[in-house]
Homo-oligomer: A and B are copies of this chain.
Amino acid sequence: MNSITEEILTSTLIKRAEDSYKGTYGKVLVIGGNEDMGGAAILTASAAVYSGAGLVTVATAKANHVSLHARLPEAMVVDSTDLKKVTEQVEKTDVIVIGPGLGLSQEALDVLTTVFSSVSQEQHVVIDGSAISLMAEHDLPYPKTQVIYTPHVGEWKKMTGLSQAEQEGEANAIQQKKIGGTIVLKSNRTKVYFNDAAWKNTAGNPAMATGGMGDTLAGMIAGFVAQFDDKEKAILAAVFLHSKIGDTLAEKQYVVLPSQIIEEIPYTMKHYSQK
With A42-B69, A270-B253 as given contacts, are A209 and B64 in contact (CB-CB < 8 Å)?
no
Q: Which residues of B sit under 8 angstroms from A269, Cβ to Cβ? A: 253-255
Taking a contact as CB atoms under 8 Å apart, the answer to whether B270 and A43 are in contact is no
How many identical chains are in the complex?
4
Taking a contact as CB atoms under 8 Å apart, the answer to whether B39 and A74 are in contact is yes
Minimum C-beta distance from A133 to chain B (A): 15
Q: Which residues of B sit under 8 angstroms from A206, Cβ to Cβ? A: 16-20, 24
Kindly specify which of A50-58, A142-150, A174-182, A193-201 makes contact with the partner chain: A50-58
- The answer to the question of A211 belonging to the interface, with a C-beta cut-off of 8 Å to chain B, is yes
A: residues with CB less than 8 A from B are 13, 16-22, 24-25, 35-40, 42-43, 46, 49-56, 63-78, 101, 152-153, 187-188, 205-207, 209-213, 250-259, 265-267, 269-270, 273
Q: Can you identify 17 A-B contacts, CB atoms within 8 angstroms?
A: A20-B188, A21-B209, A36-B76, A38-B65, A38-B77, A39-B73, A42-B69, A43-B74, A51-B255, A52-B210, A52-B255, A64-B69, A66-B70, A252-B267, A252-B270, A253-B267, A255-B269
Given contact pairs A22-B211, A49-B257, A76-B211, a sample of 15 additional A-B residue pairs in the complex whose CB atoms are under 8 Å apart: A18-B188, A18-B206, A19-B187, A19-B206, A20-B209, A37-B76, A46-B73, A52-B255, A54-B211, A55-B210, A63-B66, A67-B68, A67-B70, A252-B270, A256-B266
